[in-house]
């Protein structure tokens, strides 16, 4: 079944929730197909991609990713020693995961991006840049941390769920603008990233990789790349480095009881997968198909609300930061004749906020005797780097605006 048909079926499923007994069996089947139970939490959530399609699509997409890289002259899987290590780490972690029967596959792309990623279906990719840029290539625990995080995304089926979520957001809100935005998508994605971290720390511990090596990765990343939400325009799709350090530090403490030593697989891993301190207790099956359909809609909607809450938090932070910058920055100016004989205005903008100001707009308002604005002119000051407490100069030529007898200067739209 293709994704479009499945989406139509989800609408039908929602519309059919009427409680008729004869529908019940159908709903149960529908729920299993469209909103399967999560491998980790046992909860139902809309997922327009079937598992069969997921594997098939990921296999195809994976092949084209590798073919494209090779076409651009980027080597793939040429470092056999490193590839073997990655495969061994992947196999050990996948074995103790909730989804052992996938065609797991890892590839090493010789490209400088500081990243690793998955496209679902058991396909994982590492860029060479991840080693050295983020993780220590000589430390198996750090490699395992990234590997287990990606395996966490695959097991939780995040790729398909994102599609289900976008659908839920559309169904539950008429305000397209507030649900379709970057901030919402980024907020939703951050929840997935946090979940993958949780699952990842659990899996690596069960497979015999020391979880206390994880927070160090994010402490290092924080030192190197910082944790400024404004650097991402608030649309960061992973927890900020500093936050991730704190979160994984807590997770690693929880996971320590499941870690039995370097290279030692936890013999009780199957029981622990169903109930543990990181991902909680796996929910058991609901009574009927009707209940399952309701539950699927409710769980999907709950995830949507969580993402909305995160989005609102960021919007509040953004507004607060903007207010601070505008309230705390001020402008001074004077007029004089320029060397070429025109009248010019020269000024200073002072940054009294706590942020480094990168761009600012100074608006020159031409007013008449009654104080009414007869013309306004924006002076864009770009590519600045004004540190807190420091100032920068700006200037513009004055125009001969008929009727104007004075000017007023104000700042606006400060960005950083």
Name the residues that contact Zn ion, by CB under 5 A.
193, 196
CB atoms near residue 328 (< 10 Å): 15
Nearest to 213, CA basis, from 273, 138, 117, 269: 138
- State the nearest-atom distance from the C-beta of 79 to Zn ion, in Å: 23
Q: Which residue has the tokens 């608006």?
A: 363
- State the nearest-atom distance from the C-beta of 242 to Zn ion, in Å: 17
Max CA distance (Å), the chain: 89
- State the nearest-atom distance from the C-beta of 116 to Zn ion, in Å: 8
- Cα 63 to Cα 345: distance, rounded to the nearest angstrom: 61
- State the nearest-atom distance from the C-beta of 83 to Zn ion, in Å: 21
- State the nearest-atom distance from the C-beta of 383 to Zn ion, in Å: 33
- State the nearest-atom distance from the C-beta of 98 to Zn ion, in Å: 17
Nearest to 298, CA basis, from 306, 61, 208: 306
Closer residue to Zn ion, CB minimum distance, 307 or 414 = 307
Closer residue to Zn ion, CB minimum distance, 279 or 411 = 279
Report whether 99 contacts 154 (CB < 8 A): yes
- State the nearest-atom distance from the C-beta of 89 to Zn ion, in Å: 17
The residues, any chain, with a CB within 8 Å of residue 159's CB and separated by 6 or more, are 49, 54, 58, 118, 119, 120, 153
Closer residue to Zn ion, CB minimum distance, 120 or 164 = 120
Closer residue to Zn ion, CB minimum distance, 140 or 193 = 193
Backbone phi, psi, residue 411, to 5° = -100, 155
Residue 290: C-alpha distances to residues 27, 272, 284, 299, 329 (Å):
6, 30, 16, 14, 59
Closer residue to Zn ion, CB minimum distance, 193 or 213 = 193
Closer residue to Zn ion, CB minimum distance, 221 or 297 = 221
Alpha-helical (H) ranges within 96-157 are: 130-133, 140-155
- Cα 283 to Cα 296: distance, rounded to the nearest angstrom: 13
Counting Cα atoms < 13 Å in the Cβ hemisphere of 160 gives 32
Residue 326 structure tokens: 């505008």
- State the nearest-atom distance from the C-beta of 343 to Zn ion, in Å: 57
Closer residue to Zn ion, CB minimum distance, 190 or 266 = 190
Nearest to 258, CA basis, from 150, 96, 110: 96
Closer residue to Zn ion, CB minimum distance, 30 or 120 = 120
């Amino acid at each position: 079944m293709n994704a479009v048909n499945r989406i139509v079926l989800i609408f039908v499923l929602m519309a059919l929730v009427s409680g008729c007994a004869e529908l019940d069996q159908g709903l149960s089947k529908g729920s299993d197909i469209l909103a399967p139970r999560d491998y980790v939490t046992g909860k139902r959530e809309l997922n327009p991609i079937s598992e069969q399609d997921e594997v098939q699509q990921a296999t195809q997409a994976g092949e084209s990713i590798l073919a494209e890289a090779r076409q651009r002259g980027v080597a793939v899987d040429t470092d056999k020693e490193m590839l073997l290590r990655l495969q061994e780490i992947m196999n050990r972690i996948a074995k103790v995961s909730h989804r052992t029967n996938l065609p797991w596959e890892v590839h090493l792309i010789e490209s400088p991006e500081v990243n690793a990623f998955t496209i679902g279906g058991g396909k994982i990719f590492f860029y060479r840049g991840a080693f050295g840029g983020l993780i220590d290539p000589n430390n198996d625990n750090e490699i395992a941390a990234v590997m287990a995080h990606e395996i966490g995304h695959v097991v939780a089926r995040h790729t398909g769920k994102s599609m289900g979520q976008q659908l839920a957001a559309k169904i539950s809100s008429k305000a397209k603008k507030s649900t379709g935005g970057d901030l919402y998508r980024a907020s939703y994605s951050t929840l997935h990233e946090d979940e993958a971290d949780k699952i990842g720390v659990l899996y690596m511990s069960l497979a015999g990789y020391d979880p206390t090596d994880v927070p160090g990765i994010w402490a290092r990343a924080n030192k190197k790349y910082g944790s400024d939400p404004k650097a991402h325009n608030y649309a960061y799709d992973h927890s900020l480095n500093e936050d991730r350090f704190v979160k994984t530090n807590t997770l690693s403490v929880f996971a320590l009881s499941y870690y039995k030593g370097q290279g030692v697989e936890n013999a009780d891993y199957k029981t622990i997968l169903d109930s543990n301190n990181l991902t909680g207790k796996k929910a058991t099956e609901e009574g009927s198909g009707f209940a399952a359909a309701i539950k699927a809609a409710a769980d999907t909607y709950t995830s949507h609300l969580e993402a909305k809450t995160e989005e609102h938090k960021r919007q509040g932070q953004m507004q607060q930061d903007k207010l601070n910058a505008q309230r705390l920055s001020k402008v001074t100016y004077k007029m004089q004749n320029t060397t070429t004989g025109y009248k010019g205005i020269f000024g200073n903008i002072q940054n009294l906020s706590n942020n480094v100001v990168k761009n600012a707009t100074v608006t020159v308002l031409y007013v008449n005797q009654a104080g009414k604005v007869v013309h306004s002119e924006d002076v864009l000051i770009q590519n600045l780097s004004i540190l807190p407490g420091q100032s920068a100069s700006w200037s513009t030529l004055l125009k001969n605006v008929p009727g104007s007898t004075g000017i007023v200067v104000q700042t606006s739209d400060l960005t950083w």
